[in-house]
Amino acid sequence: MSGIIFFKTKSLEKVSDFYIHQLDMRLWLKQVNCNILQSDQLLIGFLEAEQAETEGIITFFFKTKEEVDYYYEKLKHISVNAPLMNDKYQIYHFYAKDPEGRKIEFQCFIHHLRPWLSGKCLLRKRRSIRQFTSEPVEKELLEKVFNLCKYAPTSRNSQSFYFVVISNPEQRDEIARIREGASAPIAKAPLAVAVVADSKKTKRLEQDACIAASYLLLSAHLYGLGTCWITDMNRDEIKSMLDIPQDDYIACVTPIGYPKEFPEIPTRRSTDEFVFWK
């Protein structure tokens, strides 16, 4: 189910411009006397009317305090208060007001959340994480991640991939040393996962394992966990250490844990640079 929250406004274009230019929303749909704006999963409609509706609170929430602080600096001139911690609701937030006096809240939760990302947001914001907190990852949470991965496509529906969860810190340290700097993040996370394809089930070992690894990285991000694609791990010594048959294929070993860092999204190519129409 999806939804839109509508507000009546006396100044449709002025209010729309504020949310688009100051709050980075996008015009999702333009109708007669009505603009519907979007920010990830939030849809707000403004409908031109004789009287403006200003009751309630419009809340934008983010992953980090830094994002909240960014909007505070941007909107300091219309803010009601500086950002502060709210222990009762476990949030970090501040309030501001839009041009018609509607109360707007900017916040981040200081605890872990259930999945909320849209598909577009998931694909756009997933980053490689190389620094992790010391907080352990619950087995129940990992099982939810793995449960999504079972939908990864495989050659002839062979369902040939499997995951090896590496909880032994000595093994993680040893694997982290194999490629030195490239594999170092494995030792910095509370867990690591090897993504493997079973040679007895498929002839498309690399393809099946790599697709499964992609599903794992995206599913982990959906549940608030960080990962990092570390390849060149299809090595005899790793297979022996993890009791993986030598004929099976390891696509990657990824560290997995709660991110200590949230890297910015780097500049990406335009589609003209990598899409060629024939």
Check if the beta carbon of residue 82 is closer than 8 Å to that of residue 72.
yes
Residue 264 is predicted with a pLDDT of 85
Q: Which two tokens stand for residue 54?
A: 């200003």
Tell me the mean pLDDT in the region 250-256.
98
Rounded mean pLDDT of the chain?
95
CATH number, domain 119-257, options 3.20.20.140, 1.10.10.10, 2.40.50.140, 3.40.109.10: 3.40.109.10
Residue with tokens 């709050």: 23
Q: Label residue 2 by pLDDT band (50, 70, 90).
A: confident
Residue 40 is predicted with a pLDDT of 87
Q: What is the pTM of this model?
A: 0.84
Long-range contact pairs involving 100-103 (C-beta distance under 8 Å, separation at least 24): 100/9, 100/10, 100/11, 100/15, 100/52, 100/54, 101/52, 101/54, 102/7, 102/54, 102/56, 102/58, 103/54, 103/56, 103/57, 103/58
The yes-or-no verdict on residue 234 having pLDDT over 80 is: yes
Q: Label residue 1 by pLDDT band (50, 70, 90).
A: confident
User: Which residue intervals of the chain bear CATH 3.40.109.10?
Assistant: 119-257
The yes-or-no verdict on residue 114 having pLDDT over 90 is: no
Residue 38 is predicted with a pLDDT of 95
Percentage, residues of the chain above pLDDT 90? 90
Rounded distance, CA 205 to CA 244, Å? Answer: 14
Q: Which two tokens stand for residue 242?
A: 């993890």
**Tens-place pLDDT, residues 128-174:** 999 999 999 999 999 999 999 999 999 999 999 999 999 999 999 99
Tell me the mean pLDDT in the region 107-135.
91
Name the CATH superfamily for 5-109.
2,3-Dihydroxybiphenyl 1,2-Dioxygenase, domain 1 (3.10.180.10)
Q: Label residue 219 by pLDDT band (50, 70, 90).
A: very high
Tell me the mean pLDDT in the region 230-255.
97
Nearest Cα to Cα of residue 105 among 87, 86, 125: 86
Q: Label residue 262 by pLDDT band (50, 70, 90).
A: confident
Residue 41 is predicted with a pLDDT of 87
DSSP-derived secondary structure for the chain = ----EEEEES-HHHHHHHHHHTS--EEEEEETTEEEEEETTEEEEEEE-SS----SEEEEEESSHHHHHHHHHHHGGGBSS--EEETTTTEEEEEEE-TT--EEEEEEESS-------HHHHHHH--B---B-SPPPPHHHHHHHHHHHTT---GGG---EEEEEE--HHHHHHHHHHTTTTTGGGGGSSEEEEEEE-TTT-S-HHHHHHHHHHHHHHHHHHTT-EE--------HHHHHHHT--TTSEEEEEEEEE-BS--PPPPP---GGGT----
User: Which residue intervals of the chain bear CATH 3.10.180.10?
Assistant: 5-109
**Tens-place pLDDT, residues 47-105:** 999 999 999 999 999 999 999 999 999 999 999 999 999 999 999 999 999 999 999 99
- Amino acid identity, position 146: F
**Tens-place pLDDT, residues 201-214:** 999 999 999 999 99
